[in-house]
Amino acid sequence: MHSIAIALAPLASEVAQAKYIANATPSEYLLPEELLEDAYDALRLVRECHPSAQALSAEARMQILALAPLLSAESNAHVVESSKSPELLLRHPTWVAIREQAAVCLRALGFDLKAWEAMQ
């Protein structure tokens, strides 16, 4: 399983976000900022033609690069502000767009998000 897919899975998963953001516990939680950082890392690997990204299909690279405008500093300022209210964050239009594009990336990588969610 590709490390980029594993990194993007929580960002693409509404199931994981409901469980680990909206209904987080002190021992089981996800931080929105860390999910965004994982997306930045995936984007950086593709932009820099890192060896781990070179094996990706052109479609997968293209879909990961499509995260860039969604991860702009301006967009994320609104998302981070919304993260103070988990329920608001999960419905925030920018967050939803990022989550949906992360899911598109996973499909391009051949990653089975539903199977991953079932194991969470």
- Check pLDDT > 70 for residue 1: no
Q: What confidence tens digit (pLDDT) does each residue in 4-57 have?
A: 999 999 999 999 999 999 999 999 999 998 999 999 999 999 999 999 888 999
Rounded Cα distance, 11 and 8, in Å: 5
Per the model's pLDDT, the better-predicted residue between 120 and 77 turns out to be 120
Q: Total structural domains in the chain? A: 1
Domain that holds residue 84: 3-118
How crowded is residue 94: how many other Cβ atoms within 10 Å of its Cβ? 18
For residue 7, is it left (φ>0), alpha (ψ between -120 and 50) or beta? alpha
pLDDT of residue 79: 73
